[in-house]
Amino acid sequence: MSDINKVVLAYSGGLDTSVIVRWLQDTYGCEVVTFTADIGQGEEVEPARAKAEALGVKEIYIDDLREEFVRDFVFPMFRANTIYEGEYLLGTSIARPLIAKRLIEIANETGADAISHGATGKGNDQVRFELGAYALKPGIQVIAPWREWDLNSREKLMQYCEQHEIPVDFSSSKKKSPYSMDANLLHISYEGGTLEEPWAEAEEDMWRWSVSPEAAPDKPAYITLTFEQGDPVAIDGERMSPATLLEKLNKLGGANGIGRLDIVENRYVGMKSRGCYETPGGTILLRAHRAIESITLDREVAHLKDELMPRYAQLIYNGYWWSPERRMLQAAIDDSQSVVNGEVRLKLYKGSVTAVGRRSADSLFDERIATFEDDAGAYDQKDAEGFIKLNALRLRIAAGKGRELT
């Protein structure tokens, strides 16, 4: 353990990672560099500085990564209409590769030979952090305290704080939630506690980002979202930066009870786990993106995207953002998005978001052909006969030879 001189830690400023700072110093006798990022989790990051200093940390990084997060990670992912296991919008998964990238950048800047994080040995996040780190800097060492130490209960952690004089305000600063939570600009997640019984309904006071549908306004809200090359750029005509836009969508969604999710998902490490999520802006964005694609994308491109999507989602969920196969899929997805421009009008009401209108200069919707009225010859209905006849040919030959289908 003596061969590590400096380690960069993903540091939240909370109890767990504060303990980790001290534990790393003691166990590895190494210098600790802390890295704290604002990715929209909704808590001040600057206070982490004083806490790190109090723990004797000399190199402290505090970054505002919100724009980069939304622009380079969230939006590219939404271009694929990404959903994991039919439900989950990957709010936690998509933030990890950015953290991994910054950890490695800081390791390079500070000459650190290791990184560390506060993720447990049971979850997906350890995998995402570490796969990213290894992919970006193959010789990096990784210290995952939760897999190494025996401080596997809150009591032991508190005891450790006392023994090592870790400032008590960390532990008492606020009432501990019964849930394990994670938040960023895309979502907030809840696991553990009473959620460990999949039959039990989540308690209303668990949710933090959205009002309940019942408590949402009795009148629907309408918004118009503008897309350029597959990414949203304006709300109701007002252009805004990626992070600003997502933040605004979160507020709109949250106020209308939109984006709550309660699922049992399959972790990469092999177990099922119950998770609840609030993704207000993302839920709106997904529906809107599908709607603008519905009039601008070619059919076969859309279908190909739908077939590739589950695999792309799985890559991100499992922690392979920084991989050549993700990049390869992204190349295909991005190729499809140059024409995904236009506007979608959405109705937000008590938990549901509906696309009620869509228009685009790049629309492939051809009213002359689609019409039920006289189309003045734009479409020759007689073509359908040959189309059907030849598509049926293989089936007819088989049936003619006595093949049965039932």
Task: Tell me which residues in 196-225 interact with its own copies (CB under 8 A).
Answer: 196-202, 213-214, 218-220
Looking only at residues 330 through 349 of this chain, which bind its own copies when binding is defined by CB under 8 A? 331-332, 334-336, 339, 345, 347, 349
Point out which span in 2-10, 143-151, 168-176, 225-233 binds its own copies (CB under 8 A). Answer: 143-151
110-145 burial string, b = 16+ CB within 10 Å, else e?
Answer: bebbbbbbbbeeebbbbbbbbbbbebbbeebbbbbb
Nearer to its own copies, 44 or 300 (CB): 300
Strands 231-235 and 238-239: antiparallel
Binding positions are 10-18, 37, 88, 93, 118, 120, 124-125, 128, 180, 189, 265, 277
CA–CA dist 197, 191 (Å, integer): 11
Return the residue of 50, 168, 215, 393 that touches its own copies, per CB under 8 A. 393
For residue 204, the 8-state DSSP code is G
138 contacts its own copies (rule: CB under 8 A)? yes
Q: Which of 79, 96, 102, 274 is catalytic?
A: 96
Listed ranges 51-59, 233-241, 248-256, 386-394: which one lies at the site for its own copies (CB under 8 A)? 386-394
Measured distance CA(248)–CA(345) in Å, rounded: 16
Query: DSSP 3-state assignment of 151?
Result: coil
Nearest to 87 by CA among 187, 219, 236, 221: 187
If binding means CB under 8 A, how many residues of this protein chain bind its own copies?
130
**Sequence-distant (≥ 6) Cβ neighbours of residue 402 within 8 angstroms:** none
Q: Are 92 and 123 in contact (CB under 8 A)?
A: no
Binding residue (CB under 8 A) for its own copies from 51, 320, 340, 376: 320
Residues 97-136 within binding reach of its own copies (CB under 8 A): 120-122, 126-127, 130-131, 134-136
CA distance 268 to 84: 12
> Closest approach of Cβ 145 to its own copies, in Å?
11
Which positions from 45 through 84 interact with its own copies, judged by CB under 8 A? 81
List, by residue number, the catalytic residues.
16, 96, 125, 180
